[in-house]
Amino acid sequence: MTKITIRPRILDASAETVFDWLSDFRNFEPLMPDAVKDWQASPSGCTLKLGALGPISMEQKQLTRPSELLIGDAEGKPFPFSLIISIKEIDASHSEVGMSFEAKLNPFLRMMVEKPLEGFLGHLLKTAQQKLAAKANP
């Protein structure tokens, strides 16, 4: 089992605001790094291409307001995985958000995708932190 954990970050928004924002995949587009191509999203799912990984399809699996979003592969593309976004309320205008990714990958595929996925998820969280800070402090 491959597991990638992204260090939690403090976001300038309540847990409820972060949950609402992250539970709509259409809000992810401005978070995407340049390496992402062919981005398409609906409120509950998205598809994208990330480098050599080919198409990745994600969809919401379970939402636990306002503390957790469980996102998983749609149709096993490119491999079965789960991504848990954990949200912890600090106070009315701050929350701590972390990510945990798990997938069953063979050793060769793990070697190819682990670093790009870690970079991709870290970028998403860092950019979310910046976007929410800009919204809170215009």
Q: What does 5-72 look like in DSSP terms, one character per residue?
A: EEEEEEESS-HHHHHHHHTSGGGGGGG--TTEEEEEEETTEEEEEEGGG-EEEEEEEEEETTTEEEEE
The reported pTM is 0.91
CA atoms 124, 64, 78, 54: torsion sign: negative
**In tens digits, what is the pLDDT along the chain, a chain of 138 residues?**
899 999 999 999 999 999 999 999 999 999 998 889 999 999 999 999 887 777 889 999 999 999 999 999 998 878 899 999 999 999 999 999 999 999 988 898 888 888 888 999 999 999 999 988 877 776
Structure tokens belonging to residue 84: 């848990």
Q: 51 pairs with which residues across the strands?
A: none
Which domains, ranges and CATH numbers included, belong to the chain? 2-136 (3.30.530.20)
